[in-house]
Structure 1
């Protein structure tokens, strides 16, 4: 199914702004694989009549030869084709002679060049300083290995540090742009379910068909032997991290609900202190995040670890622990396992979309808050029992205003019953309890009846029709 280029206006404007400046420009674009970097940058370079080069995993000699052929095709230089460039010095000399006026070029998957020759950053720095910085070249270095791009290209110790004109980390699309991948007739509920699996990654979304249910898409594109997405979670980890087996165990533990450091360590068969560096690496790569209750400091002992990416969370929840069924092509069993837990899985992703909705509503003046996040906690009752509670989203403003939100991926929700539940949980939230002003907010697929107040507290209700209207606006 074909899809047009979606969103990325800010990223495109970033590239255009640098293009309008005089002098040489060295631009770094990086981000997770499948985020749409190549489509963004290669289209930009193509429109500028420049040279796009996709680095390979081959040796340096082969890379220079392939690059020579690319240059020869672009400049119609048959002499270069018959006598390919032998070293980087020759390449930069050649490029410098062609860049007296604005000339665009891109090295996509630049980390592959570094793998072929670790000295590449130093080589590029030397010839950038000596040759290209005095020209009108516009060079893009693009890569999917976040760790390598941040350390070998952007890092303070990188030889290229201080040479770049700008950098942009391409993030997944927000939910409000996901609908653009599907026909206008696609139900909003189905888009939400697809988003819960694919997140905002363009490649994953292009693998989904809006005319099919989320489960049908999963069984055809993810839970099907031989399909690219069936092993995508494994590729994501292996591409970035050594000791992948340890990281697989950690991510599976988090996906299965073991979210405290000691629980994760027990699952992985490690000491809690030994697992710290593994968690730090996953946080650095934005694969997981450490989150604390909104009323606590981030270093709180109450902090939990969650998988940041929808697809990775899906893969480690349903595919990784059931790979045996996938390998033996027992799709009926896989379908049963996914079906049994899918609604609850979507519910957690729905919370993220509700947060995006609130940020959108805030930008339009429909609500105000300073901070937003989840809350969980506990207290001892008079009888000595430990009472625990979680609140999906809590909004704080100043020192006294708090909005407590619940997100229910259900139909015909009784708003009054949910408000009563929130009221009970609110008693456990000790944030400025004596002076604060509470409000309630409820999200649901649909309501049997909406309410505007509960026991004197302002209460807002939003169903998916309300959300669709706001997010599509």
Structure 2
């Protein structure tokens, strides 16, 4: 799978923003676009392709984390002088500026007045880390100079929380930019890229996390086993290095949060078990240390928090999981296997994945199934189901994979369900009997509550209100 694929919808969105500038639709001639998305999801590549195809002059500046602000401004002006902008001669001899306000005014001066242009500041949060004053300087430069030019200013950031805060009430750039989020490729898009049927497409999504750099390495029709084995023969493969590089950018120094992330990646889900595993042999990690680490990981969208869905609140029984399935796989198998791959023992790492794949996949696919059903519902059969989650008590027994409800916490339970994602075993009568028994434990459910099931390879049970297979789930991500 070569070339740039899978982002036609996002390129069209960028084209619409540029057309807005070109046609002068607003009271301001310029438009600021705040583009956010997690690391390695392809933001920079998307914007590079957009700029190359746009046919208008542009400049792109990639910020460097930890760079001295004065040096960062020098590099920006150097990029402007070497760009396709028409009036860069105005910066001849200008190599240094005293502050960001001056640098941005000089940038505005070289932008054309009568034709559209594009300015890209990549990893803008790193500029703000180095010099927080840059945020106010950008607001001033935008109000007084940049917005008066027909320019599309694109601010890119992987720090999702900081990018969201940029336009928040009370911040200098509030209501000055249009927000856009670049998500990972969907299971449907991964399947289309890899030429895989529905069940294998979902497996490929669990492996790649929808990251384009990894997904494009998947050969047409290639099996998961062969892809993993082939990728783990190469210590520089995107499958192996993408998470390592992303985490190095997220955690430039040794932090408690990084250790806690690995603990969650190893399979610990509750606050108590995470604290015990993250601590020492004789002492659990104190709440005063664990709580800030978890908060940081959730803000970075690296960790997701799940609560049991029922007519009772479930905040006290929350669970933690790695939000991205690829990172979940990497932390479970590849982080400790890097040294083996570098020694030429990648086959052993692939074998360890294969041995644990059924149990690992069974847990990892559940959030994907819930997301698919949440996208498909409500429908004619379930008109009142607006939330799809799971349920578990403090003891974790029983665990119910699927609960459909009207809201959180629920006023009414629409259905209770089970996910069986086995390679060859269908959902059968025994599975249905277990589901019927466990459903009665869900607060708000009763013997009359409809039962549903999700299975990778079919059903051999009567009495289900609905049955969903891989093909049905994949419809949740069909292009509109």
Q: Is TM-score (shorter-chain normalized) higher than 0.5? A: yes
Residues 258 and 170 (structure 1), Cα distance of their counterparts in 2 relative to 1, 3 Å cut:
same
Aligned to 2:370: 355
Report the alpha carbon displacement of residue 231 of structure 1 after superposing the two structures with TM: 3.2
| TM-score, length-scaled by structure 1 | 0.84
1:390 matched to 2:399: yes
Aligned to 1:35: 41
Match of 1:70 among 73, 78, 82: 82
Aligned to 1:305: 320
1:98 matched to 2:111: yes
Aligned to 1:286: 301
Structure 2 unmatched runs, 5+: 280-284
1:207 matched to 2:221: no
- 8 Å Cα contact 1:394/1:404 also seen in 2: yes
Report the alpha carbon displacement of residue 258 of structure 1 after superposing the two structures with TM: 1.4
Report the alpha carbon displacement of residue 429 of structure 1 after superposing the two structures with TM: 1.4
Aligned to 1:55: 62
- Please give the alpha-carbon distance, in whole angstroms, between the structure 1 residues aligned to 2:142 and 2:476: 47
- Please give the alpha-carbon distance, in whole angstroms, between the structure 1 residues aligned to 2:471 and 2:103: 61
- 8 Å Cα contact 1:68/1:85 also seen in 2: no
Aligned to 1:416: 429
Match of 1:377 among 386, 393, 398: 393
Residues 351 and 40 (structure 1), Cα distance of their counterparts in 2 relative to 1, 3 Å cut:
same
Residues 291 and 400 (structure 1), Cα distance of their counterparts in 2 relative to 1, 3 Å cut:
closer
Match of 1:315 among 321, 326, 330: 330
Aligned to 1:5: 5
Query: What's the RMSD between the two structures over aligned residues?
Result: 3.1
Match of 1:340 among 335, 355, 371: 355
Report the alpha carbon displacement of residue 345 of structure 1 after superposing the two structures with TM: 1.9
Residues 232-271 of structure 1 mapped to structure 2, 5 A cutoff: 232-241=242-251, 243-269=253-279, 270-271=285-286
- Please give the alpha-carbon distance, in whole angstroms, between the structure 1 residues aligned to 2:167 and 2:247: 21
- Please give the alpha-carbon distance, in whole angstroms, between the structure 2 residues aligned to 1:339 and 1:366: 38
User: Which shows bigger deviation, 367-376 or 44-53?
Assistant: 44-53
Higher strand share: 1
- Please give the alpha-carbon distance, in whole angstroms, between the structure 1 residues aligned to 2:312 and 2:425: 37
Aligned to 2:282: none
Match of 1:142 among 114, 135, 156: 156
Residues 387 and 109 (structure 1), Cα distance of their counterparts in 2 relative to 1, 3 Å cut:
closer
Aligned-partner SS, 2:467: strand
Residues 78-97 of structure 1 mapped to structure 2, 5 A cutoff: 79=89, 83-87=93-97, 89=102, 92-93=105-106, 95-96=108-109
Aligned to 2:198: 188
- 8 Å Cα contact 1:145/1:239 also seen in 2: no
Residues 429 and 114 (structure 1), Cα distance of their counterparts in 2 relative to 1, 3 Å cut:
closer
Aligned-partner SS, 1:75: coil
Report the alpha carbon displacement of residue 264 of structure 1 after superposing the two structures with TM: 0.9
- 8 Å Cα contact 1:208/1:221 also seen in 2: no
Residues 143-162 of structure 1 mapped to structure 2, 5 A cutoff: 143-150=157-164, 153-154=166-167, 158=171, 160-162=172-174
